[in-house]
A and B are shown apart, each in its own frame.
Chain A
Amino acid sequence: MKRRALMLFLILLGALLQQLLPGISLLGGMKPPILGAMALFHALHKGTPDLWIAVFFAALLQDGLSGGSFGPALLSFPALSLLIYRVRSEIFTDSLVTQMVVGALMGFCTAFAIGVFHSALGQLSVEPRLVFIRLFGALLLGLVTQPVVARVLLRTEALIPKWREARRWL
């Protein structure tokens, strides 16, 4: 239960951090996809139902705090997480290359879903050149963000048994 509460708290912190970080102008103003990376981390390392709780909570925050209608993250996060969950026994989940590839995939797919979804609904108007830059930027940022987020989450979760140990001695 405590582990689950920590999981949700960390996702909340991730959402706040993603919102606070400035967009990178050279990459079309895109931001590091921290929430997407957190969803993928749970797809790579956790079982159900923790995985689905984390994925839907992250998607809800991503769509809820973003402009336009609900949808892109609520579709892309679970779809990609399901895909990764299915193939995770056949890949090296802790390898840096795996982390980078799935991170890039998540960044690209989420950005693509947002672009297509909101453009189709007429809520977004972006030049094709800028769309290309943003998709490339999202791919690049996903590639960099995923290993960092995975490392931070693994380290934080590893602290829990130490807290329990410390409380027992007090």
Chain B
Amino acid sequence: MALRNKKRVYAAAAVLLLVVVLVPLSSLTLMGKGAVRDAMAPAQRGSTGILRRISEAWSAVCGFGGMLEKNRDLSRELVRVNAELSRWRAAEEENVRLRKALGFYEEQSGQIIACDVIGRDISGWWNTIRLGKGKQDGVREGQAVISPDGLVGRTTEVTAHTADVLLLSDPTCQVSAKIERMDVFGLVRGAGTTLKGEPKAIIEFINKDKEIRVNDEVVTSGLGAFPQGLHIGYITHIKRDDSGLFQQAEITPLPTIGLLDYLFVVPSVEREVAE
């Protein structure tokens, strides 16, 4: 009798497990993941902090102690100034265009949110990192994440206290972009990492009649939720796509190499048509 009951319990547990696994409701998944991630966030922050301290102590021993703190402050300041500059530049360009048009757009964007990096993907299958700020700090899904070097990726799964960032090098990450020198638009898509660990990305659907060059700078186009003018990388190799209708180019997304301990979330640009 006891054996029969035990078998029933096991069968019920197995069925429940299969239901949880095979019915991937995104809201339920995010709720479950949110609980695990929020509970683990303090431990992750602590362990990453310890690792950071060790690495900083090592740097101090090597003679860079004072410079480290100063460098961090300057980097923080630089990213704010860069972000503000690109916003002004975008606003100026937009202003010129609007003078030519009849209607006009009003751009609204909030404050940049500074976040600490508390972890990386546990399995190695995803090119993601985890930030120590979430919904309660104003971070939302689909927002741009930048470092002092430019665009790093976009926020994907946001819980109350954490946010995952899908890096530009991940094949599922796509960003509308343009080549800065000549205003040619395309779509940047991650292409994984090389066996040496260097991130790769490609820009696709570039007009085949436009003459693009190696070392051309690629920036965000401003189409979509990302602000305009965020640096993505430089073109390293150009080729025709399989259909022969477009050009595509390989780029090295420099901002995702050697990520810092802190990054910045840029609020989505909201455009309102003024009356």
Contact = CB atoms under 8 A, between A and B. Distances in A.
Interface of A: 12, 15-16, 18-20, 22-23, 25-26, 28-31, 35, 60-71, 74-75, 78, 111, 114-115, 118, 121, 123-127, 130, 133-134
A124 B126 contact: yes
Contacts of B128: 67
Contacts of B172: 123-125
Contacts of B37: 64-65
Contacts of A60: 36
B195 A64 contact: no
23 contacts: A12-B43, A16-B40, A19-B47, A20-B47, A20-B48, A25-B195, A25-B196, A29-B124, A29-B127, A29-B197, A31-B122, A31-B124, A61-B122, A66-B125, A67-B125, A67-B126, A71-B20, A71-B21, A74-B20, A78-B17, A111-B125, A125-B172, A134-B125
Which secondary structure characterizes the binding site on chain B? mixed
A89 B186 CA distance: 61
A137 B128 CA distance: 19
Q: Output the residue of A28, A71, A78 with the most chain B CB within 10 A.
A: A71
Contacts of B156: 67
A121 B121 CA distance: 19
B124 A19 contact: no
B204 interface: no
Contacts of B51: 20
Interface string B1-28: 0000000000000000100111010100
B43 A70 contact: no
Given A71-B24, A125-B172, A62 B123 contact: yes
A63 B193 CA distance: 23
B192 interface: yes
B20 A25 contact: no
Interface string B158-180: 00000010000001100000000
A126 B192 contact: yes
A20 B117 CA distance: 11
Kindly list the 3 A-B residue pairs having the minimum CB-CB distance in the complex, ordered from nearest: A64-B36, A25-B197, A69-B24
Nearest to A110: B123
B47 A124 contact: no
Contact of B171 (A15, A70, A125): A125
A88 to B, nearest CB: 18
B33 A70 contact: yes
Contact of B47 (A16, A25, A114, A130): A16
Contacts of A16: 40, 43-44, 47
A30 B156 CA distance: 21
B107 to A, nearest CB: 32
